[in-house]
């Protein structure tokens, strides 16, 4: 399997309660289809759980054409790590439907201060139910910078192979992990790992081999229709215009137009709980607008 060494590893104790590591009340936590959709969110047309009544709908991402099947590894979570001295330290955890196993390659890390490469060797790649080892990629940025997004830039298999921008991590993904898994990830950081120094990318446009990707939906939360409206069986679409920041957080969400004013409040609430990824140009995220469609059936 490309980039993932799946030699048997000794399992470690853990729980199997969640699917894909998402909270048990999360709409993506519904089976293996949802699991693959989460890990390949930007590479598959999984904008809105089309088979779920009352769930948001979003168009397929054109990023599906970027060949994510060649690099089926995503960044499951990135957590801050306590460190001394200058800079900021983070730990990135990898996951893949081909896992568990190990992988070597390079991360691309975007911050407001610039872009960085993080080379790594034989780091753990996990998969549900996350009972195996969780050895993260621990890296240090030279400045006290927040993260905008992180994605796998290349894999060594055994020769370096570029990856498409399809499995991008944004801060909102970590916030949607089940508490049990999030606790396990944090527990692995107690070993005080030695960080890898991230290397600044002086010319991101020249270094970028993946081009870019449009805004997309990563995790769609279905709306909760108020009980007072349930008997009326309201149906239709609500078109929500989003403004996304460079770190993919939602700056604003306003109704552009809708089939029923009765649905607009529930649609806005669901939109604000969902997770999106902003537009990427030359491997760098930038603020963008995105029309998100919430469908009630």
151-168: average pLDDT: 80
Taking the mean position of all CA atoms in its chain, how far away is CA 68?
A: 14
Structure confidence at residue 4 as a pLDDT band (50, 70, 90): low
| Nearest-angstrom CA–CA distance, 49 and 32 | 13
**In the predicted model, what is the mean pLDDT of residues 53-77?**
51
What pLDDT was estimated at residue 32? 24
255 vs 37 pLDDT, higher one: 255
pLDDT at 158: 57
Q: Which residue shows structure tokens 């590894």?
A: 73
Report the b/e string of 72-93 with b at 16+ CB within 10 A. bbbbbbbbebeeeeebbbbbbb
Output the pLDDT for position 247: 96
Question: pLDDT tens across 160-185, in order?
Answer: 778 877 778 999 998 888 888 888 88
Percent of the chain predicted with pLDDT > 70: 74
Per-residue pLDDT of 255-283, as tens digits, reads: 999 999 989 999 999 999 999 999 999 99
Which residue from 169, 135, 192, 119 is spatially nearest to 12, judged by alpha carbons? 135
Report the C-alpha gap between 196 and 186 in whole angstroms.
18
- Helix (H), strand (E) at residue 33: helix 32-39
The predicted structure's pLDDT at residue 91: 95
Q: pLDDT tens, 248-259?
A: 999 999 999 999
Count of other CB atoms within 10 angstroms of residue 142: 15
Residues 6+ away with beta carbon under 8 Å from 126: 76, 93, 94, 95, 96, 99, 100, 132, 133, 134
Residue 235 has a pLDDT of: 84
Q: Residue 15 is encoded by which pair of tokens?
A: 């729980």
Kindly state the average pLDDT of the residues 43-59.
29
pLDDT band at 133 (very low <50, low <70, confident <90, very high): confident
189, pLDDT greater than 70:
yes
Q: Residues 6 or more apart from 88 whose CB is under 8 A from it?
A: 80, 140, 141, 143, 144, 145
């Amino acid at each position: 399997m490309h980039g993932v060494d799946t030699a048997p590893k000794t399992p470690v104790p853990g729980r199997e309660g969640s699917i894909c590591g998402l909270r048990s009340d999360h709409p993506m936590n519904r089976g293996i289809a949802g699991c693959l959709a989460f890990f390949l969110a930007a590479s598959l047309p999984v904008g809105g759980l089309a088979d779920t009544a009352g769930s948001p709908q979003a168009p397929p991402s054109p990023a599906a054409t970027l060949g994510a099947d060649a690099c089926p590894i995503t960044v499951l979570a990135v957590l801050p790590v306590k460190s001394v001295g200058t800079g900021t330290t983070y730990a990135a955890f990898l996951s893949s439907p081909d896992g568990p196993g190990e992988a070597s390659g390079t991360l691309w890390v975007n911050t407001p201060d610039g872009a960085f490469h993080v080379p790594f060797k034989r780091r753990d790649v996990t998969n549900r139910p996350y009972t195996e080892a969780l050895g993260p990629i621990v890296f240090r940025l030279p400045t006290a910078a927040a993260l905008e997004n992180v994605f796998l830039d290349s894999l060594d298999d055994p020769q370096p192979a570029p990856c498409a921008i399809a499995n991008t991590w944004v801060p909102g993904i970590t916030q949607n992990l089940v508490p049990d898994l999030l606790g396990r990830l944090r527990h692995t950081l107690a070993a005080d790992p030695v960080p890898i120094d991230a290397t600044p990318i002086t010319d991101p446009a020249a270094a970028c081999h993946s081009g870019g990707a449009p805004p997309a939906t990563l995790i769609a939360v279905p709306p909760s229709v108020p009980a007072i409206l349930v008997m009326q069986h309201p149906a239709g679409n609500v078109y929500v215009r989003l403004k996304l920041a460079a770190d993919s957080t939602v700056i604003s969400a306003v109704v552009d137009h809708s089939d029923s004013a009765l649905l607009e409040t529930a649609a806005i609430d669901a939109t604000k709980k969902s997770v999106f990824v902003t537009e990427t140009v030359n491997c760098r995220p930038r603020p963008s607008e995105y029309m998100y469609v919430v469908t009630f059936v």
